[in-house]
Each structure stands twice: as structure tokens, then as C-alpha cells.
Structure 1
Amino acid sequence: MWQVIFAASIFQVAVLTNHFQRRLLDVLDDVEVDNLPLILSVANLCNKSCMHLLERCLEMVVRSNLDMITLEKALPPDVIKQITDSRLSLGLISPKDKGFPNKHVRRILGALDSYDVELVRLLLMEGQTNLDDAFALHYAVEHCDSKITTELLDFELADVNHRNQRGYTVLHIAARRRNPKILVSVLTKGARPSDLTFDGRKAIQISKRLTKHRDYFGITEEGKPSPEHSLCIEILEQAERRDPQLGEASVSLAIAGDHLRGELLYLENRVALMRIMFPTEARIAMDIARVDGTLEFTLGSSANLPTKIHRPTVDLNETPFKMNDKHLAQMRALSKTVELCKRFFLRCSNVLDKIMDDEPELSSLGRDTSTERKRRLGDLQDALQKGSSSFDKSGS
């Protein structure tokens, strides 16, 4: 509705502006507090044509529990000044800090805005504040990209279930952000999907309310990127159903054979199939597992689909085979990718399980070093490469 108001105001269609302004005013009390800054920003841009909406929205924001940092990120300086002045006159904030955090916290948040995680580490070493008191993890999840958020989580210096002043955990913020990689990163660090906000909502309820019906119930073709919003709901649903510890995939790898080379080949083929059939899920799992640098078929940061699947530079079917550090690092990264898929992307994992079970060659490669098995391995790798190329052409 606010989009129509903004467009009508820009094109100076007064009748339309007034009509939708009245409609929005009628339902404004039912609008989520988190959406008020956006509506206030639009009303401010419309200026005189939306004065009633501007005044009402401003009053609601002033009396809300929205913190000044959140408001500062969403609103222009002149509106921020009106809010601080009103809150001061009502005694809602202290004249000393005007509702803003202290300078030590501001420096940490500023470092996050600058994508400088190492500076955050140095500031923490000063001992003036910590990540929990600064609500730095909440801030990163809401405002920073997934790379910065993951690096901050890897510090393991913050309580991932810590609540901010409004009663939101980091997972609640991530559910609003609806970034699948951030959600998985937070959940793997121990976030509890069952935690409720002060008004009784779980993360999955927050995410569902923000997702359109067609995105949630739409069917995604295999090989096509999954809609991120519906993927977030799938991740949270899986997290609520079960909370397994990472490592369960290692047990399932028994079907790959007793030899390490068989396990490694199984993992390589499974992840290669995942990249072709479920590119979005594969990218998330591989990024978190840090597969880049351990594989010949690395996943580019700007690509959704693999451009080429290379055959291993080391022939794992040649004997004697010795597992070196490179192979171990590759196996750990691939194994974690499979584990993350089993934990958060059950639909994807079930499809891959069926394919691997129905195609004995894919699950048993490495047990047999016969010429026929080697030829079959080459055929399968060629098929994967052709499949990858066909998806590249269709997507370009």
C-alpha cells in the first residue's frame, strides 16, 4: 500500500494519495512495529501530501521500543532529530546519551559497517565492552552481509541466544532478514528455534508472516534456484523438527565403502549432483563448510551454478592410494556440506539419497579398481559435466 501512496504522491495524483493514506491510517495500529520506520520514511518523502500519516507515524515511532540505532539506519537525520526531541520531552530517553549507545559500542558497530572484522577483534581486546553488551551479533545479522556475520559468529565470543532490549534473539532478527546463509550459520552455532519473542512469536512465525503465499507454496524445478524466502521457512521447519549434532553424515557414508578413497569419491559425486540440481542450497552449504580451496570444482562467489566439473587431478582409483592432508581437508569440507544438507535441506537430501541409492555406481565408486569401473566413473563425470553445461546455457 505504501508503494501506491509514494507513486501517487510523486505523480501528484491527490485523489489516489488521499484515498490510500486514509486506508493506511485505518490499519496503522495493526502494523508491526518493525515496519513503522519504512512507512514513516515514505510519509516523510511525500511531505505535505501525507501530513496526517507523517504525524501519526512519527508519534507511534516516538512511543515505540525501536532503538535509536535501528531508526538511524532507516531514517534521515531531520526525522531522527524530531524523534529524539520528542522522546526527550516525554522523558523516554536520557539527555546524556539521547538513547544512543556509548562510544565504545559505536566504534564496534562502525567497524562492522566498514567490513573490518579484525578491527572488531582489536576493539574487544581493549576490554571496554563485549559483543553481547554491544548487541553486535544482532546488528551484524540485521545490517551486514553474510560473510561478515559468519566471521563474527566464528569468534564464538557472543551468546547466540542473547536477547536485545526488545526481546529478540539473533535468530529472530535472522528470520526477519530472511537470508538463508545467515539463518543456517546462526543455527549451526546453537541458536534455539523454539525461543519466543516477548509477544509470543517464534522465528518461523516471523519468517512465514513476511513471506508471500506464492513463494511459500510455489514449486521449484530441480536445477533452478530456490526462492530464498521459502528456503528460509524450510530451514526453520527442519531446525524445529530436529536438532541433530553435525556428524551424522559420517555414519551414512558407510555405503561408500570401507576405503577412504571410496568415501571421498562418494562425497565428490554427491556434492557435484547437489550443485547441479539444487544450486542455491549447495552454495549455502558449501560456503558455510568452506569448500572453496579444497576442491577442483570450486564455487565462485558470484556464480549460482558450476561452470565446469573437473575430474580429480589425483586418480583416486589408482593403487596404492594414500590419504594426505589435502584429501583430508577436502573430505572434511565435503562431509560438512552433506551434513548441512541433511540437517537443513531435507527435500534436497532426500532426492540426492534416492539418486545415490538408485545408481550403484555413484555410491560404490572406489571399491572396485577394474577397467570397467574406471570407464563407468569417466562416463558419470562426463554426464555431470554435460548436465552442468546445459544448465549454464539455459541460465545465460
Structure 2
Amino acid sequence: MEDSAEPSYMSSTSSPHILNCLTCYDIPIHSVPEGGSSPEIMSLAKLSASLEQLMVSSIGVDYSDADIEVDGVSVGVHRCILATRSKFFHEKFKEDVDSLEKKESRPKYYMSKLLPYGSVGYEAFLVFLSYVYTGQLKPCPPDVSTCVNDGCSHDACRPAINFSVELMYASAIFGVPELVSLYQRRLFNFVEMALVEDIIPIIVVACHCQLIQLLDQCVHRVAKSDLDSISIEKEVPYKVAKDIKSIRLQCLDENSNAMINDDPLRERRIRNIHKALDSDDVELVKRLLQESDITLDAAHALHYAVAYCDPKVVSEVLNLGLANVNLRNAWGYTVLHVAASRKEPSLIVQLLKEGACASEATPDGQNSVSICRKLTRPKDYNEITEKGHKSNKDRLCIEVLEREVCRNRIAIDASSSSPIMDDDRHTKLQYIDLKNRVALAHLLFPSEAKLAMDIANAEAASQYAGVPLSKSSNDIFDEVDLDTTPIAKDERILANMVALKRTVETGRRYFPNCSEVLDKFMSDDLNDESYFLDKGTAEEQEIKKQRFMELKEDLQNAFTKDKAELSRVGLSSTTSSSNVGLSSTTSSSKVKRKRKSPS
């Protein structure tokens, strides 16, 4: 879809409500009398309001005749309205007329199948749908178009850009040209205000929807910035990346004083290391390091792995012991800053465990917490997690980083975690307690428990994630092969206990609120049957169910208490920490990164 000319009525000085009605029904602006109070306009306004009531089904009866599923939620639509307002839906419904007549149930469509590229979320689709029905453009919902960084003005943060990009996809693919024109103007504004790395989604949508002018502006903004070539090649379409490279080379040619210091052989060796990481082949990385003088740090291999590779690959690279976790790249970003941008909890905690400093700031004054917060929507951060369900990854990343900034790092000495095996009975009891604690943690906090296991490298502990809780000592060593020698058996038990204890200690460090609930539960005087709700008399079962309801309430209280502690220490979501000593003006005002021009 090529850039459409601005309709004449879009520049009207009439009220927004009247203007939207005119837009919806294609009434020329010259027909509107001064004051905008003609019977025709008033009728259109009333019709718009009536159609809105139909869309939200507030009239008490659902007259919709089809469903479109978006993000797992079915949205009732009226095919006659969508077909009239959108050529895309007209053609789609027309194709399905014959097949639908044979079906008794109402037709259902899936957003993921309607879109040839890009994505449109539930909230963005509702805003689009509201415009199609009423001709009125609703404000963007703040919980999905802003971030949770208190110091952000939200005029060009990533959630704001992403929401407009989703609406652009809907407008362009479903064929509503007036919305395409409107959101193209919004995206034009973002290009000038946003951080250069946040322009990537705009480049992708402009390329897919053939918005030539918008794409040209994005290309020139990126070409004149110092956004690294690796990010460009990995994240934008090939043709666009080629155009950006061509403009950069032209700028260098025009500048007679430009010094090209790139070593082709060195660059090729670095790219070979990156390709090996892309293939998850850390053994090949080791061979490449041995064959040249390029180091992991020189190739910024850990930065690259954290940005683009599987967490298991990052773990293997860290295990080589050859990379500096606090190394800064050309932008002044540490590896933890890159991990915060990716918002993957396991990566963040792996780096913290290896000594990454959460309070380090970027050149423009952001630390890992503020980076993560600027990428997180209120909807995701404030999502209520029910017991036994996975926590939202975005919130989990922020909570881990905030706790690390609030307090000094506590080194975990693996050797001090080794249990004493002198007293066999004592060992069995300790083993049971650890096993039950890990199993209970996985039941109540699946995301947090799995993360603690992964970071503690507790492969042995993971086998207890789904097993029933037990207080019996008879099955304590059932997982150990009885045919093994006593020495091998003891070594296996010792290794399991070390893994379990590391998991518990990691949980205490990064998830104190969860640990508080587990401490209270585990300290209760429970007998062998107390963990099983379906055992015992009816009265005993009822008592145990009541106990678990109390546990659920304790869980909520613990989360509230932990949040209160974070607020009490005065942690700002946009400051690096008291150790960094950043000025309040830097942390509270909107900071725009100034990119160096190659010229």
C-alpha cells in the first residue's frame, strides 16, 4: 500500500467528534455549516453512538454473527459492518459464503491467520474495531501503550511505538486508508523522538505495508546513527539493511577526513564466532578462539549471545570462563543491559550469579532496571498471577533486578552448601525437608522455582518439581540405584543435596517473598498425611483445605510486604542506584540518546 494523500477533511477545524463522523461516512468538509450543528451532522453523531452501543453489546442482546479470536479472546463482530467498511473483510466473507451456509455454528476467524505479516493484539484490535463501527478514534489504552518507568513521558517509549505499529498493521492489511494516513503521521513523529534502536519495529511495518516516505525517513535516521551493523542485519529486512549500509558508505566517501580502520580479516573472524553462536556450537567457538588472536571480549560474544541466542548457549559461554560479564560494548552497554532489553529472567539471573553489576549505568543514565521498565507495559507488570500459574516474565525480570539493586550482592559459596553426612538419620531428615521444599515451591511458584533451579545449575533438583510431597524416610533414596557401590551411592546423595540446597539458597536470595511463605509452611508441625488433601476423614480434609486457603492468603500478603519494602527504601524505577550517584534530573527527565554521525 503506497502512501495515500491526506484527505481534505482531515484538516478540518471542526470538533473531533463531528470530524470523525465525517471521516466515517465520507462527507466533504465544505458541507458542514459553522458551529457543526446541522440536523445531518447531529444525526450522524447519534448514529455513531448507536453503533458503539452495538459493538459493546450494552443493549443487552448480542447481535454479532461471527467471532474473531485475538490473543485467545473471542471478539464478536457484525460481518455486514466490517464488509461495508473494509474491502479486506468484504473479500474474506464473500469467499466463505458457500462453505458457511453448510455449517450450523457461527463462523470463527483467527487473527493470526488473517494477517500475512506482523501482529495485532487484543487491545489494538478493539481500537481499530471501534473506529470501523463508529468513525471515532478512541485514545490508546494506557495499560498497553505506556511503560512502567515513572520518569518516562510515554511519547516515544517502546510500548507506545509497538501499539501504534499494531494499529498500522490492522489499518493497512484490513484496508482503512484514513487510519493508515493517521498512524503514518504518528510513526513519523516517533522516528524523530525515539531511541534509534526503538525505530526497528517502525522500519519493519513501513517495509511490509510499503510506506515509502516513512521507510525513507527511518533509513536515513538509522544510517546517520551509530547503531551497530550486527543489530541492523539481524533485525531489519535484508533490502533495508543493504540501503542503510550504502548510505553509510556514501557518507564516508564524501568525508575526506574519514578514517576507515576496519580490518577485514578481524571482522571476518568475529563474524565466524557469531555464526557459531547462531548454530549453538560453542565447541566451534572454542576452536575459533584457539586459531586466532580474537578473544570473546574482542568479539563481544557474550553481548551477542545474550541478545540473540538460546539461554543454554549463554550458559555454555559463561562456563568457558573467558568472558567479562561487566564488559561494555561500543554503546557503553554491559551484557546485563542487553539482557534487560531482551527481558529473559534466566539470562538476567545467570549474569547476576556470575558477578554482573545491576547498578551500572549506560552513558545516558539508565541502569538495567530502568531499561527493563521502559520496555514493560503496565498490563504485563500489574498482571495478577494465581497460585500455581506462571508469573509474567516482564515483572519477574524487574523484581529480580530491583532486589539486586536494593541490596549488596551476596556471594553463594557452593562448597559451603555441602551437607554433613555424619549422622545418617539427620541426613535423611534434611534431605526430605529440602526435597519437600523444592516440590512445594514448584507447586506454588512454578516460574520462580524453575528459575532458581536453572540458575543454581540444579539438574538434580529438577526431578522433584513434579513429584508428590513426602515425609516418609523409607523412599528417601529410591532414586539411587541399589546396585551401585556404597561410595557411589553416597556421592549421588551428596550431589542431590548440594543441588537442592543451592536451589533453596538461590530462591532465598532472589525471591524472598516466596521464601517467606515457604518458611512458614515448612515450620508447621505436619504429620505424614498433612500434604495430601484427599486423605484422612472428611473433617481432616476440610481442615487441610482451610490451611491451604490460609497459605494462599499468606502468599498475597508476602508479595504486598515485599513491594512495600522496595518502596520504603526509596528505589526509583529510573535511577541506577545510590551507588551510581546519578543526578535526579537525569533520572526523572526524558533522555534522548545522541548518536554520532559517521560524517
Question: Under a length normalisation based on structure 2, what TM-score does the superposition of the two structures give?
Answer: 0.55
Unaligned runs of 5+ in 1: 300-305, 362-375, 388-396
Match of 2:326 in 1: 161
Q: Does 1:173 align with 2:334?
A: no
Match of 1:28 in 2: 191
Match of 1:56 in 2: 217
User: What secondary structure is seen at the aligned counterpart in 2 of 1:90?
Assistant: helix
Offset at residue 207 of structure 1 (A) = 0.5
- 8 Å contact kept, 1:160–1:186: yes
CA distance in 1 between partners of 2:259 and 2:312 (Å): 35
Offset at residue 297 of structure 1 (A) = 3.0
User: What secondary structure is seen at the aligned counterpart in 1 of 2:312?
Assistant: helix
CA distance in 2 between partners of 1:99 and 1:205 (Å): 37
Gap change, CA 1:286 and 1:121, over 3 Å in 2? same
Q: Does 1:277 align with 2:438?
A: no
State the Cα deviation string for residues 240-293 of structure 1 (Å, max 9, x = none).
122111159979x99xx993333222211110110100001111111222333x
CA distance in 2 between partners of 1:381 and 1:290 (Å): 27
Offset at residue 160 of structure 1 (A) = 0.2
CA distance in 2 between partners of 1:276 and 1:209 (Å): 31
CA distance in 2 between partners of 1:260 and 1:191 (Å): 35
- Aligned ranges 1:1-40 → 2 under 5 Å: 1-40=164-203
Match of 1:200 in 2: 365
Unaligned runs of 5+ in 2: 1-163, 479-485, 536-540, 545-599
- 8 Å contact kept, 1:248–1:339: no
Gap change, CA 1:7 and 1:315, over 3 Å in 2? closer
User: What secondary structure is seen at the aligned counterpart in 2 of 1:110?
Assistant: helix
User: What secondary structure is seen at the aligned counterpart in 1 of 2:192?
Assistant: helix
CA distance in 2 between partners of 1:173 and 1:133 (Å): 17
User: What secondary structure is seen at the aligned counterpart in 1 of 2:315?
Assistant: helix
Gap change, CA 1:55 and 1:191, over 3 Å in 2? same
Gap change, CA 1:94 and 1:58, over 3 Å in 2? farther
Q: Which residue of 115, 137, 141 corresponds with 2:302?
A: 137
Q: Does 1:337 align with 2:498?
A: no
Offset at residue 193 of structure 1 (A) = 0.5
Q: Does 1:45 align with 2:208?
A: yes
Gap change, CA 1:94 and 1:382, over 3 Å in 2? farther
CA distance in 1 between partners of 2:271 and 2:350 (Å): 25
State the structure with more CA Rg.
2
- 8 Å contact kept, 1:274–1:282: yes
Offset at residue 63 of structure 1 (A) = 1.2
CA distance in 2 between partners of 1:97 and 1:340 (Å): 44
State the Cα deviation string for residues 106-155 of structure 1 (Å, max 9, x = none).
11110111011111112112233111110110111110111111111111
CA distance in 2 between partners of 1:133 and 1:210 (Å): 28
State the Cα deviation string for residues 29-51 of structure 1 (Å, max 9, x = none).
2212221122112111111xx22
CA distance in 1 between partners of 2:462 and 2:360 (Å): 41
CA distance in 1 between partners of 2:186 and 2:342 (Å): 27
Q: Which residue of 239, 247, 250 corresponds with 1:86?
A: 247
Gap change, CA 1:380 and 1:324, over 3 Å in 2? farther
Offset at residue 295 of structure 1 (A) = 5.0
CA distance in 1 between partners of 2:264 and 2:198 (Å): 20
User: What secondary structure is seen at the aligned counterpart in 1 of 2:507?
Assistant: helix
Gap change, CA 1:313 and 1:185, over 3 Å in 2? farther
Q: Could you say what the CA RMSD is over the residues aligned between the two structures, in angstroms? A: 3.2
Question: Under a length normalisation based on structure 1, what TM-score does the superposition of the two structures give?
Answer: 0.81
User: What secondary structure is seen at the aligned counterpart in 1 of 2:249?
Assistant: helix
Match of 1:246 in 2: 412
CA distance in 2 between partners of 1:45 and 1:2 (Å): 11
CA distance in 2 between partners of 1:312 and 1:360 (Å): 17
Gap change, CA 1:284 and 1:32, over 3 Å in 2? same
| Larger deviation, residues 260-269 vs 128-137 | 260-269
| Larger deviation, residues 308-317 vs 272-281 | 308-317
| Larger deviation, residues 263-272 vs 178-187 | 263-272
CA distance in 2 between partners of 1:84 and 1:28 (Å): 19
Q: Does 1:67 align with 2:228?
A: yes
Offset at residue 226 of structure 1 (A) = 0.5
CA distance in 2 between partners of 1:118 and 1:313 (Å): 43
- 8 Å contact kept, 1:223–1:279: yes
Q: Which residue of 483, 486, 491 corresponds with 1:325?
A: 491
Q: Which amino acid aligns with 2:497?
A: M
Q: Which residue of 253, 258, 267 corresponds with 1:102?
A: 267
CA distance in 2 between partners of 1:36 and 1:56 (Å): 10
Identify the structure with the greater helix proportion.
1
Offset at residue 309 of structure 1 (A) = 6.0
Point out which structure has higher relative CO (alpha carbons under 8 A, 6+ apart). 2
- 8 Å contact kept, 2:477–2:493: no
Q: Which amino acid aligns with 2:251?
A: L
Q: Which amino acid aligns with 2:296?
A: L
- 8 Å contact kept, 2:445–2:514: yes
- 8 Å contact kept, 2:432–2:473: no
CA distance in 2 between partners of 1:231 and 1:151 (Å): 23
- 8 Å contact kept, 2:336–2:348: yes
CA distance in 2 between partners of 1:99 and 1:61 (Å): 23
Offset at residue 223 of structure 1 (A) = 1.3
Q: Percent identity?
A: 38
Offset at residue 100 of structure 1 (A) = 11
Q: Which amino acid aligns with 1:330?
A: N
Q: Which amino acid aligns with 2:178?
A: V
